[in-house]
Each structure stands twice: as structure tokens, then as C-alpha cells.
């Protein structure tokens, strides 16, 4: 049985890859983001430092621009505000 080495493309100069084939991974040390190419030629951001910071900043409080962290009972402290009667 042989080992398979998976090489991830990386850049120290570009914020995103210019193109990626379907399923190919790339990481930018400039933007600190990871990307994957899809079958349509799109480049999709799938992770990186900004994602980790967002998850790490999760809180059970009603804090703007953060994820909601629930306690062991699934409870979070939230305040819901309906704008324009809740219609959209």
C-alpha cells in the first residue's frame, strides 16, 4: 500500500487564485482564505482565518455580527427586533 500526497496550491502574492479546476484546493496567505474550484469554473471560498475568527467569536449574548453560541440546553440570549411590522 502506498501513501498518496495531496498538494494544495498556495500563494504569498495573490488574494485568490485566478482559476481552479473542479475539486482543486488553494490557499492564499495574503487573504488567509482557502478555496476550491467547482465544475463550472467558479472559485468558492471554503475556509480560512476569517471563518475561524467568526467561529471563535461566537457568544451566547445578543452581539452584532457574531455567531450565536447556545448553552448545553440549546438556549441563547437573543433580542429579536421586527422592522416594518416583520414584513419583507
- What is the rounded average pLDDT of the residues 5-28? 93
Cα–Cα distance, 80 to 59 (Å, whole number): 16
Looking only at the bridges linking them, the beta strands covering 9-11 and 33-37 are: unpaired
pLDDT tens, residue by residue, 34-82: 999 999 999 999 988 877 877 777 776 667 766 777 777 777 666 655 5
Written as nine digits, the cell of 43 is 472559485
Prediction pTM value: 0.63
Cα–Cα distance, 80 to 88 (Å, whole number): 15
Amino acid at each position: 500500500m502506498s501513501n498518496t500526497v495531496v498538494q494544495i496550491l498556495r500563494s504569498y502574492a495573490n488574494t485568490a487564485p485566478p482559476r481552479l479546476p473542479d475539486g482543486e484546493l488553494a490557499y492564499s496567505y495574503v487573504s488567509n482564505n482557502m478555496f476550491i474550484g467547482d465544475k463550472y469554473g467558479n472559485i468558492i471560498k471554503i475556509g480560512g482565518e476569517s471563518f475561524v475568527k467568526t467561529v471563535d467569536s461566537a457568544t451566547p449574548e445578543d452581539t452584532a455580527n457574531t455567531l450565536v453560541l447556545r448553552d448545553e440546553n440549546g438556549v441563547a440570549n437573543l433580542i429579536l427586533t421586527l422592522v416594518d411590522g416583520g414584513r419583507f
